[in-house]
Chain A
Amino acid sequence: MNDPVFASMRSQMTPSPKARGELADKLAQAVPGKPVFRKRFAAVAACAALALCIYPAYNAMRPAPKLHDYVTVEGSGTLAEKAIGTVTGSGPDEGSMGDRDQAMTPGELTEAMEAVGFSTADIDAYQDMGYEMTWAKWWKFVNEQKNVEGEEPFNLTSLKEFSRKELFVNTGLADELPGGAYVPGGDDPVAGLPSQPGADAYQLLMDHFGDTLPDWYGGAYVTSRGTLMVLLVADKDPGDKSLELEVLEAAGGRTAPVGFVGAKYSRNDLDRLNREILGLLEGKGISASWGIYDDQNRIVLDTDEVLPDEVLAKLAQLDPDGDAILVRVVTGNAVVTDEQVKGPMPVVPGGVQEAPPHSGAVGEDPAVHAATEPGATAPSDGDLKAIEPQSEELPVPEGKSGTESGQSVRYELPSVDTKGKE
């Protein structure tokens, strides 16, 4: 490196005096800049203030997500008896949704039968018959038999006779046919028991459909008089009876005990919603039970706590019209039975039975309308659905029946010995 040459050259590289003078003049007129750090600080502060103001404003202006409606049920007792899906969260409420169902478990039935003196052989024989005993029916049977004169009022014959009149047979098809129904079969252990024409029609209809349900099929249920009510979804010419004719042909002919109800949602839609709900609630620690109610053409979802907004928003997305899913928040130990979901079965003596309306206290307008059931007659005592007496919560004053003490929900019940359950 040749430093002297470069140093000499560098020393000669000076701006002209003219440029130096002009710079001095410009500097005299110029305003010195403020420290940059202040500008940066001010910029950061301005951005922060903007963000603090804009974000709440944005949140305030942003439309809140639509949440699904729900109804609150207060009271004491048990919960829905038709739940298909169940998700149980952890905590003290676990199990509170299903273990107090009206239907008796085999163990409870065995214990109850033993308590009144049935032998093990009789108990086994009775349970093999497949009757679906409920607590209310059991106490009705016990009460009736107490008044029967004789040494052994609690015998298998009387219980079979009572069950034949009062109970459905649980064939294992209860999930397929609401309410449970007897379907005759060759090796069926309950073969020989009285047949239900509506159930037969239902089975024939399902055989006709095969594995795939048509989109116009909204579900089916059997009325208390054994008529199969089929829900039809299709929006069609009222004069067009082709679907009705197809169902009648499939269900056993023009004389089959089949009625028709208009419906909004197909059974396929409800099945899809059912699966979506499972996916939605799974793993969220929410106690809930739900199932498809064919007679209401909707899903009823019971929970013991108000669902989080996130879940309600998702339910609102799944059910934009708000009538495919009924969300019920059951507080306390509420009794929620099918009757409360549907409302009592209104009967027009000697005429047509309408679709079950809904109790305003717990339900919403269902998507079912205009039911027409052929050949309806006045109800008998056997049509009445019994409600389980709540002996533990509401003790009956001595000398008064459960009905008198206001324990029954909707129907007059025979007097019940509430002490017998203990």
Chain B
Amino acid sequence: MEIQPLRTDGGIEAVIQTYQNMVYGLALARTGSPADADDVFQETFLAYFQSGKIFREEEHRKAWLLRTVLNLSRRVTASSWRRKTVPLEEGEAVAQPFREQSENQVWNALQELDEEYRIPVYLFYFEELSTGEIAQVLSLRPGTVRMRLSRGRDKLRQTLKGEYFDE
């Protein structure tokens, strides 16, 4: 990973370049909507730019971005306006966000999981975070994260007939 300036007001483009997929991907996994994920992506980096935070280590910056994504996603999904309105194009976009059919199959199976299992599974398999790191981001105990990963995997195996999600 490329080392970025530890101050948030310097090298913002480099930080966006490094973390945009992580931020957008987690936002998409959390909200299930590309449009909402775009909004969360923008707000996350704006918040980062305006926060003035200084990070002692790159891991701290990454953890901060992940927590911010989850918080902003929660705000978006909790909006009463969003709960009552569904954009016409969103259904198609969510249904086929990836090029390969197998990828869309995996994504759809993931989206069917409850949030408490979906986010740990996404962070573990897509962002390759350890259970300890996931526990830190989600403010859970590592044991809880392992339990949720295990149950999430079981559900995915049932949906995907045993493919993809190994221990």
Chain A residues packing against B (C-beta within 8 Å): 1-2, 5-6, 8-16, 18-20, 22-23, 26-27, 30-39
A-B complex: 4 closest residue pairs judged by Cβ atoms: A33-B52, A32-B9, A19-B38, A13-B25
CB neighbors of A among B4-24 (8 A): 7-9, 12, 16, 20-21, 23-24
In contact, B126 and A36 (Cβ under 8 angstroms): no
CB distance from B123 to the nearest CB of A (A): 12
The 15 listed contacts between A and B (C-beta, < 8 Å) are: A1-B165, A9-B103, A9-B106, A10-B25, A15-B20, A23-B41, A23-B46, A27-B46, A30-B46, A32-B49, A33-B51, A35-B52, A36-B51, A37-B54, A39-B52
Q: Let me know if A12 and B99 touch, CB within 8 A.
A: yes
What A residues does B136 contact at CB under 8 A?
Answer: none
A19 / chain B contacts, CB cutoff of 8 Å = 38-39, 41-42
With known contacts A8-B100, A9-B107, A33-B50, A2–B21 Cβ distance under 8 A: no
Q: A10-B25, A36-B53 are in contact. Are A1 and B38 (CB under 8 A)?
A: no
With a cutoff of 8 Å between Cβ atoms, the chain B residues found around residue A8 in the complex are 98-100, 103
Interface residues on B, range: 35 or more
B102 interface residue (CB < 8 Å to A): yes
List, in ascending order, chain A residues with CB within 8 A of B25's CB: 10, 13
Residues of B within 8 A of A13 (CB): 21, 24-25, 28, 97
Alpha-carbon distance A400/B8, docked complex (angstroms) = 101
- B16 near A14 (CB under 8 angstroms)? no
In the complex, A37 Cα to B7 Cα: how many Å?
11
A contact residues around B165 at 8 Å (CB):
1-2
Distance between Cα atoms of A23 and B17 in the complex (Å): 12
A26's contact among B42, B54, B163, by CB below 8 Å, is which? B42
Q: Check if A26 sits within 8 Å of B52, measured CB to CB.
A: no
B117 contacts A by Cβ under 8 Å: no
Residues in B with CB closer than 8 Å to A35 are 7, 52-54
> Does A23 contact B21, Cβ atoms closer than 8 Å?
no
Give the shortest distance, in Å, between B144 (CB) and chain A (any CB). Answer: 21
Given contacts A5-B103, A10-B126, contact A23 B52 (CB under 8 A): no
Chain A residues with CB below 8 A from B106, complex form:
5, 9
Q: How far is the CB of A366 from chain B (nearest CB, A)?
A: 73
Query: A11 — which chain B residues lie within 8 A by C-beta?
Result: 21
In the complex, per-residue mask of B17-45: 1 if CB is within 8 Å of any chain A CB, else 0:
00011011100100000100111011001
Whether B50 and A31, one on each chain, are in contact in the complex, defined by CB atoms closer than 8 angstroms, is yes
Q: What is the CB-to-nearest-CB distance from B35 to chain A, in angstroms, rounded to a whole number?
A: 9
A12 touches B98 (CB 8 A): yes
Given A9-B107, A33-B9, the answer on whether A15 and B49 have CB atoms closer than 8 Å is no
Residues of chain A within 8 A of B49, CB atoms compared: 27, 30, 32-33
- Give chain B residues whose Cβ lies under 8 Å from the Cβ of A33: 8-9, 49-53
Give which listed residue, B24, B98, B102, contacts A15 with CB less than 8 A: B24
